[in-house]
Chain A
Amino acid sequence: MVLFLYYKSSLGHFIATSLNTGQIQLWKYDWKRDLCIAHTYEDCQRSVNSLTFDPYRPNLLYAGSQSQIVVFDLREKKLVSTYLDREDAVRDLRFPYSDRSEFATAHDSGKVMIWDTRKSDKCLRVISCHAHVVFSCDWHPTNNQRMVTAGRDQYIKVWDLSDSVESAVYTILTYAGVRKVRWRPGHDDQCASYGSMAWDCDINIWDLSRTYIPVAVLKNHSQVISGLIWRDSNSLISSSADNRILLDELKNPHIPAKDATPSSLTFNAYGHLCTAIRTPVADKERKVSVPDLDHFGKDLVLDEDDTDGSLSDDAPSSSYAFTSAMSDDGEIGIGALDGEVSIFSFQAPGHMPTEAFEYASLENDGDNSESYSKPTELVADLFVTKPTPEMIVRSWKFSDIIPDLLKSYADEGDVQTCVSIIAALGERFDVTSINEETVVNWYNYYLEILDKFELWNAHNELIKTAHYSAIRELSFSWPYNTGCNNCKKVVNKAGCCNICKKQAALCSVCHLPVKGLYVWCHGCGHGGHLQHMKEWIKKNHVCPTGCKHRCEYD
């Protein structure tokens, strides 16, 4: 390793270089522009990491080596004094910018030491700065009581030395170990740094008012940087392992904060929009807000028949009602009221098959049956009280336009309608009329939406009723044997106990058979409708059957 240092003083122009062996060579650069070795100092036994001429006593050269600080005299050409005699390598040696008899050294042990040039036996202060090696330190150009240090632990720290107990007033955590840090002259709150990692070839300029992001980045080097010095407040010279020395004028630096996203958005399945918006820096509060778009979605449903608001949990059940209300010869009529689209059979107008209600009670445990009786009245209104001939829409063979209809709905993003129609048509749907892969695809998207809404029941019901094997394969079930509540024997397929001769899975609250979700206590084995048990457990702690077990549900 060769370290260069150029120096101009009343004694002449000098360049000092050091080698890994500890040899320090002093070159004189004379008026004939010849460079010749003025002297070679061989007093250092170990490699020298830093070299500095004393700016206030022009005849002195300071060298920080692996184990000590040595001072050479240029005129007498000999070792003058030694400052440290223990195993702690010196990484950086800096004199303050104003005339003082102090200097600071950065050490491998994570410490920065401040020395008096007149006292070589004992240092003035020891500051424990970093967890690892301190690579660099620098005195503030105008404030004598301020110092910046940087180390392998990826931190740049600014220290206040005015108090007897030093404190880090600013801490910058960077993404790699910091090899060197230097204050920017003319800007009291800015410093430049470069990293120690081989992949890091940027020079970052930091501002203490915003320590999370560098105020500017210089990206001109292609390999790891080896040196940096400020020429004046707006230009700096840097050298790198790519064999180039560059002078940066800081005219058009890359400013990372310009590319930082100031606002952000996210949608969830329920149409809630969450935004993070920049608020003035002064109040330092960053806010995330969640506008509730529920009413917005509903408005759109009424106005523009949007799909996203109508994707509610009653969707699969209405499609089910549609199936059962379908007449055998496949003719349908469409009647709209209150913005709801309902599809009814003409052939059997007043008649609603009972399956529709069973499904509804399965979904809602029977307590919502009022809302499901509404379509019957509607049908009665439409077909029973006004049976005039002009009211009846002409029948047509719909199967030809179904593929076009489905594709058009899909292009609008209304995959729910597509799947509902296919599920409703069931076997009547002409499989050859549309590519099976497309249909399976629609099913997949719709199932994903149901998944996002956590409508597991509707999800599984849809898979069960699908006429495509590719969809039905999505469902996998494990058989479980149900035991009778009374005698603990396995019940038969109908859900009845062969011994006790009665229905096994009755709800303990309403004493009716449970279809769909059955919830039971693991302790006593009694249970019932999910909704009923929820309500019971809210008010009571013991089992509804009276078995005196204190039921526990998660």
Chain B
Amino acid sequence: MANSVSDLSIVRQINTQHADLVHDVSYSYNGRRMATCSSDQTVKIWDLGEDNEWHMTASWQAHPSNIWRVVWAHPEFGHVIATCSFDKSIAIWEEIGLARRDSGEQINTWQKKLSLAECKASVTDVKFAPHYLGLILGFCSADCWVYICELPDISEMNLYRSYRYDTKVSCSCLSWNPSRITPPLVAVGSDTVSGGISKVFIYKFIQEEPKGLKELVSPISVPGPVRDVAFAPHMGRSFFQLAIAARNVHIFRLYPTDDNFNKNQSDSFNVEEVATLEKHKSQIWRVEWNITGTVLASSGDDGQVRLWKANYSGKWDSCATIRDSEVVNKIILKLYEYQVKIQKLGKLES
């Protein structure tokens, strides 16, 4: 079964009742909650019930415009999500239990804790930094800026400090490096294509004063617009793995060049491309790592979700494909109808 491609049919479908495209879906820390956001300006929260079904527990209009991304904060900050939108702002929401006035029954509602409208264009991505750094938010916008926003406390959201960095090209996605012992890195992808290629920048977030972002290595160039970047969970590896969704799926490794890897000092990296995965043959929109960073999932314009895995020799290959079971069923039905027709024809002829 190694490296053979298996078809995984969809086990469960949830009709989200969103009126337009669902742009992002995200599991909470323990995977028991899920958030979806859509062009129809709403965010919906789903909870896995006792009956092992997903139930929508909240749905509200979070922005007066399309919502691109929704992310969960680490549970140590409470039930907190962040959203970014075409309306040039990001918002932070917290779930708060309120006792209903008439019956005293507890109901949970989501309250807007902060709205940041610092950008001049659509905010394309928002991500929480690893939780041990504190409540820090990174976001990037189509007007070429990357922002890092430090929030002191969920109860005093307005005391935030933000730092920004000009990338000079329109940004489309952002990812934090989840390593505990090296300085926090931020990868920012751009969807500005010049000469057929676009860039992924890697910045270091300097935590000492003066705080800010510093470019570490020369940008990584890949063909086609970059739509998503994702650092793999670090898990104590001696290098970082970065997946890039562009025209193909790319996997890069960042090796620290000096021996100070563990000393919070490393400032220079050797960037090495490990794999270019071309099986989608269309624009890739999302990449996502599993919990240990050993399996990569990608989704493309071809309507397929592929899972990628490295074999023992380190060669990455597709290990599974997920298709919409309805589409498959429709094809099977067509084939069946066709067969029936042929049988009828055969009967007529005989």
Query: Do A307 and B237 form a contact, CB below 8 Å, given A278-B21, A290-B11, A452-B31?
Result: no
Stretch of B146-154, B195-203, B319-327, B338-346 with 4 or more beta carbons under 8 angstroms from chain A: B319-327
Q: How far is the CA of A415 from the CA of B181 in the complex (A)?
A: 15
Stretch of A102-110, A291-299, A502-510, A526-534 with 4 or more beta carbons under 8 angstroms from chain B: A291-299
Query: Do A266 and B25 form a contact, CB below 8 Å, given A213-B39, A273-B305?
Result: yes
From B20, B86, B305, A286 is in contact (CB under 8 Å) with B20
Binding site for B on A (CB under 8 A): 154, 173-176, 199-200, 210, 212-213, 219, 256, 259-279, 284-293, 296, 299-300, 302-304, 306-308, 311, 407, 410-415, 418, 435, 437-438, 441-442, 444-445, 449, 452-454
Task: Give the total of B residues in contact with A, Cβ under 8 Å.
Answer: 90
Q: Is the CB of B237 within 8 A of A288?
A: no
Query: Do A300 and B25 form a contact, CB below 8 Å, given A411-B238, A441-B236?
Result: no
Q: A273-B322, A287-B14 are in contact. List 12 more A-B contacts (CB 8 A).
A: A175-B64, A213-B20, A213-B66, A266-B26, A274-B27, A276-B23, A286-B19, A288-B25, A289-B12, A290-B11, A413-B235, A413-B293
Contacting residues, chain B, for A264 (C-beta < 8 A)? 22-25, 285-286, 299
Q: Is the CB of A267 within 8 A of B288?
A: yes
CB within 8 Å of A: which of B134-169?
142
Q: Which 3 A-B pairs have the closest CB atoms?
A: A268-B31, A175-B87, A276-B22
Q: How far is the CA of A441 from the CA of B39 in the complex (A)?
A: 40
Q: How far is the CA of A293 from the CA of B6 in the complex (A)?
A: 12
Q: Is the CB of A256 within 8 A of B122?
A: yes
Closest to B40 in A: A212
Closest to A210 in B: B20
CB of B309, distance to nearest CB on chain A (Å): 7
Q: How far is the CA of A173 from the CA of B64 in the complex (A)?
A: 6
Contacting residues, chain B, for A452 (C-beta < 8 A)? 29-31, 291
CB within 8 Å of A: which of B268-322?
285-295, 297-301, 303, 305, 307, 309, 311-312, 319-320, 322
Q: Is B328 an interface residue (CB 8 A)?
A: no
CB within 8 Å of A: which of B1-39?
1-2, 6, 8-27, 29-31, 34, 36, 38-39
From A199, A200, A302, A308, B291 is in contact (CB under 8 Å) with A308
Q: How far is the CA of A278 from the CA of B20 in the complex (A)?
A: 9
From A265, A272, A289, B286 is in contact (CB under 8 Å) with A265
Q: Is the CB of B10 within 8 A of A289?
A: yes
From A210, A261, A299, B23 is in contact (CB under 8 Å) with A261
Q: Is the CB of A291 within 8 A of B8?
A: yes
Q: Is the CB of A175 within 8 A of B88?
A: yes
Contacting residues, chain A, for B120 (C-beta < 8 A)? 199
Q: What is the number of contacts between chain A and chain B, taking CB atoms within 8 Å?
A: 245
Q: Is the CB of B235 within 8 A of A410?
A: yes
Query: Do A175 and B63 form a contact, CB below 8 Å, given A199-B117, A277-B324, A293-B8?
Result: yes
Contacting residues, chain A, for B10 (C-beta < 8 A)? 289-291
29 A-B pairs in the complex with CB atoms less than 8 angstroms apart:
A174-B87, A175-B86, A175-B88, A200-B88, A212-B19, A212-B20, A259-B122, A260-B21, A264-B24, A265-B25, A265-B297, A266-B26, A267-B295, A269-B291, A275-B322, A277-B299, A287-B16, A289-B13, A293-B8, A304-B311, A304-B312, A307-B292, A307-B294, A413-B235, A415-B292, A442-B235, A445-B236, A449-B292, A452-B291
Closest to A302 in B: B1
Q: Is B262 an interface residue (CB 8 A)?
A: yes
Contacting residues, chain A, for B63 (C-beta < 8 A)? 175
Q: How far is the CA of A65 from the CA of B234 in the complex (A)?
A: 65
Q: How far is the CA of A299 from the CA of B309 in the complex (A)?
A: 13
Q: Is the CB of B180 within 8 A of A444?
A: yes
Q: How far is the CA of A374 from the CA of B25 in the complex (A)?
A: 43
From B14, B27, B64, A266 is in contact (CB under 8 Å) with B27
Q: Is B177 an interface residue (CB 8 A)?
A: no
Q: Is B191 an interface residue (CB 8 A)?
A: yes
Closest to B130 in A: A448
Closest to B132 in A: A444
Q: Is B172 an interface residue (CB 8 A)?
A: yes
Closest to B75 in A: A451
Contacting residues, chain A, for B295 (C-beta < 8 A)? 267, 271, 308
Q: Is the CB of B236 within 8 A of A261?
A: no
From B11, B180, B324, A441 is in contact (CB under 8 Å) with B180
CB of B207, distance to nearest CB on chain A (Å): 17
Q: Is the CB of B238 within 8 A of A410?
A: yes
Q: How far is the CA of A259 from the CA of B123 in the complex (A)?
A: 12
Q: Is the CB of A260 within 8 A of B14?
A: no
Contacting residues, chain A, for B128 (C-beta < 8 A)? none
CB of B201, distance to nearest CB on chain A (Å): 18
Contacting residues, chain A, for B24 (C-beta < 8 A)? 261, 264, 276
Contacting residues, chain A, for B319 (C-beta < 8 A)? 300
Q: Is B204 an interface residue (CB 8 A)?
A: no
Q: Is the CB of A270 within 8 A of B31?
A: yes
Q: How far is the CA of A441 from the CA of B305 in the complex (A)?
A: 33
Q: How far is the CA of A444 from the CA of B235 in the complex (A)?
A: 9
Q: Is the CB of B16 within 8 A of A275?
A: no
Q: How far is the CA of A277 from the CA of B286 in the complex (A)?
A: 11
Contacting residues, chain B, for A453 (C-beta < 8 A)? 30
Contacting residues, chain A, for B13 (C-beta < 8 A)? 287-289
Contacting residues, chain A, for B290 (C-beta < 8 A)? 267, 271, 308
Q: Is the CB of A441 within 8 A of B181?
A: yes
CB within 8 Å of A: which of B61-79?
63-66, 68
Q: How far is the CA of A286 from the CA of B237 in the complex (A)?
A: 38
Q: Is the CB of B12 within 8 A of A292?
A: yes
Q: Is the CB of B36 within 8 A of A174?
A: no
Contacting residues, chain A, for B175 (C-beta < 8 A)? none
Closest to B66 in A: A213
From A256, A274, A442, A449, B66 is in contact (CB under 8 Å) with A256
Q: Is B41 an interface residue (CB 8 A)?
A: yes
Q: How far is the CA of A350 from the CA of B287 in the complex (A)?
A: 49
Contacting residues, chain B, for A199 (C-beta < 8 A)? 88, 117, 120
Closest to A259 in B: B191
Q: Is B54 an interface residue (CB 8 A)?
A: yes
Q: Is the CB of A445 within 8 A of B234?
A: yes
Contacting residues, chain A, for B285 (C-beta < 8 A)? 261-264
Closest to B68 in A: A261
CB of A119, distance to nearest CB on chain B (Å): 39
Q: Chain A CB within 10 Å — which of B19, B65, B88 has the most?
A: B65
Q: How far is the CA of A316 from the CA of B204 in the complex (A)?
A: 36
Q: Is the CB of A173 within 8 A of B286?
A: no
Q: Is the CB of A290 within 8 A of B14?
A: yes
Q: Is the CB of B299 within 8 A of A265?
A: yes
Q: How far is the CA of A269 from the CA of B289 in the complex (A)?
A: 11
CB of A462, distance to nearest CB on chain B (Å): 15
CB of B186, distance to nearest CB on chain A (Å): 20
From B11, B27, B122, A268 is in contact (CB under 8 Å) with B27
Q: How far is the CA of A453 from the CA of B85 in the complex (A)?
A: 32
Q: How far is the CA of A173 from the CA of B42 in the complex (A)?
A: 12
Q: Is the CB of B227 within 8 A of A175?
A: no
Q: How far is the CA of A259 from the CA of B285 in the complex (A)?
A: 10
Closest to A292 in B: B11
Q: How far is the CA of A308 from the CA of B307 in the complex (A)?
A: 14
CB of B106, distance to nearest CB on chain A (Å): 13
Q: Is the CB of B235 within 8 A of A445?
A: yes
Contacting residues, chain A, for B286 (C-beta < 8 A)? 261, 263-265
Q: Is the CB of B34 within 8 A of A411?
A: no
Q: Is the CB of B301 within 8 A of A262?
A: yes
Contacting residues, chain B, for A175 (C-beta < 8 A)? 63-65, 85-89
Closest to A268 in B: B31
CB of A420, distance to nearest CB on chain B (Å): 13
Q: Is the CB of A411 within 8 A of B239?
A: yes
CB of A325, distance to nearest CB on chain B (Å): 26
